[in-house]
């Protein structure tokens, strides 16, 4: 039984390596991109806690008033393009993540910041329906969060 499982893992492992090898060889992926791991699992999880567990290895995020949604306003007219601007005064922010738990995929973007960052990130996101937006900031190895309810007039997941 144990052996069987191991063989499975081995087979699976060599399959993955083989596919990547082919991709690299055919120039689909440069070695750098093949190594830089896009967090696939985190981009499939539905629950916020599961996203955090997958990205950061912990589920707990403490509510903080040192994270601000400067945008959007309370109402977003066009769900296909909602401007999100997050700023934080938490010390040495390591990352700013944007989550839209009502979307088909909860995690929208994860900005990994350098130590030169001022704690600011901005982008446009799709929102399928009225619901909360969650901002997560990692600072000093801990997670902090704030959320904001956004009313979406016209849903944006059809675009």
Partner 1 sequence: MAAKPIKLRAKLSGDTVKVKAILNHPMESGNRKDPEGNTIPAHFIQNVTCKMGDETILDADFGGGVSKNPYIAFEFTGGQKGEEIVMSWLDNKGETASATGKIK
Which residues contact partner 1 by CB under 8 A?
23, 28-30, 33, 36, 38-39, 43, 80-83, 85, 100, 103-105, 107-114, 116-118, 120-126, 156-159
Torsion angles phi and psi, residue 17, rounded to 5: -60, -40
For partner 1, give the closer residue by CB, 107 or 145.
107
The least distance separating partner 1 from the CB of residue 25, rounded to whole angstroms, comes to 13
The least distance separating partner 1 from the CB of residue 9, rounded to whole angstroms, comes to 26
For partner 1, give the closer residue by CB, 13 or 39.
39
The least distance separating partner 1 from the CB of residue 55, rounded to whole angstroms, comes to 9
Residue pair 135/71 in contact by the 8 Å Cβ criterion: no
Beta bridge partners of 151: 75
Beta bridge partners of 84: 123
For partner 1, give the closer residue by CB, 8 or 85.
85
User: How far are the Cα atoms of 39, 63, 114 from residue 67, in angstroms, in the given order?
Assistant: 24, 9, 18
For partner 1, give the closer residue by CB, 50 or 157.
157
């Amino acid at each position: 039984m144990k052996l069987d499982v191991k063989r499975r893992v081995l087979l699976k492992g060599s399959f993955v390596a083989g596919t990547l090898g082919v991709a690299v060889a055919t120039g689909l992926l440069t070695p750098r991109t093949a190594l830089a791991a896009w967090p696939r699992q985190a981009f499939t999880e539905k629950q916020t806690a599961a996203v955090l567990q997958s990205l950061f290895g912990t589920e707990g995020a403490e509510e903080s008033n040192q994270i601000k949604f400067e945008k959007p306003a309370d109402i977003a007219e066009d769900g296909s393009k909602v401007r999100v601007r997050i700023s934080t005064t938490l010390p040495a922010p390591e990352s700013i993540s944007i989550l839209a738990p009502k979307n088909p995929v909860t995690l929208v973007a994860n900005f990994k910041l350098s130590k030169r960052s001022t704690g600011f990130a901005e982008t446009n996101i799709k929102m399928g329906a009225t619901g909360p937006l969650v901002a997560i900031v990692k600072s000093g190895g801990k997670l902090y969060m704030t959320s904001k309810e956004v009313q979406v007039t016209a849903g944006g997941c059809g675009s």
